[in-house]
Structure 1
């Protein structure tokens, strides 16, 4: 019979709800995978509605970016695949569970720029098009952060290229942030460079961001023939 380490044994008398909170907290730490995995295994043996309990426990903090994040969000955001595997395959957690802002673990993995975590979640059924409460899709986030490999992964899984939020499509977001690399990928996947959002096309945002590279991508001969309803006073040198 396996004997748990002294670190685990000192928590043995605590209620499951407290142990789960500890598990959620350490999911955000980068160097405690062995302890986290052992604690998760210990919780399994304690039984009960463990998955449901883990899913309901989230970060309670004044930090808006962290508020409401659960164990899978934190593990994915930190690229901790071993923890992700235990939560998804061991506890059968919902890969599309959302935080208080409607963000999924996939979005957290993108924010953490963890390509491996993104791959893992997509391979285990994560919805590549699920938007948060503000209408931002995973592709919006990846395009704005300049995560080229992740943009490719999302598109390979069939992500819609032109979802619209208040700030525009992923192409608008890439232009706003001056991310010419992700912009090029989106254009190669037939993103609508003429899409009007609040009366503005991606070209307007590229000009506003003073991104010469993005402007050049948007004023290629094939695009120059398009009709724009805006006037751009810009010289590309």
Structure 2
């Protein structure tokens, strides 16, 4: 009798996944990465605000909304803790950028300024969190001021990102136009593969669209948190952050493929 006809042992139910499961492997890689974990938590953090608003709007203020709020707060704290060593990869990228600069001088300048915005943003956010949790002896007023300034540098980064994406798109269009002209003229080197190059251009264009969507979700949040007094409702914080989280998860998932 073949092994396939043997009854399945309930203790071996994982066998149903098969000898190889690429989707499961992909999911494990995604969740094992700091980026993947952060983006899933980001999704929970922001969409929970929308769910709480919906429950309260329907008059269900009791248990469910309170429990969701009780989950959202530690999730937010954990995401900040995940960023506590964010300066190290930032310094690493700053070093990489100087030795592998983009083809455009404008793009290089924008990225340099963005990096310095982050170099200031990260420590301010860390000090804010430590002050808010009374780890550092900082008054509430000063803690809120530090948090506001950290968000202002984040807002500067987000605004600059539109410029970087616009320049990236301009260079991409230029590459695409030049490639199409060379294909039409038959001016293609033997080692070149125009189909591969066009596929690369298509992938980069998709990346620009995704990053523009992410940035557009972040922009109203950074402006809101940069102001001393803002009337931006919490439900819209959830919608904007949740919108960005969807594209962040997509980008992180593709990166771990």
Please report the TM-score for the alignment, with normalisation by the length of structure 2: 0.23
Q: Higher RCO, 1 or 2 (CA under 8 Å, sep at least 6)? A: 2
Higher helix residue share: 2
TM-score by length of 1: 0.25
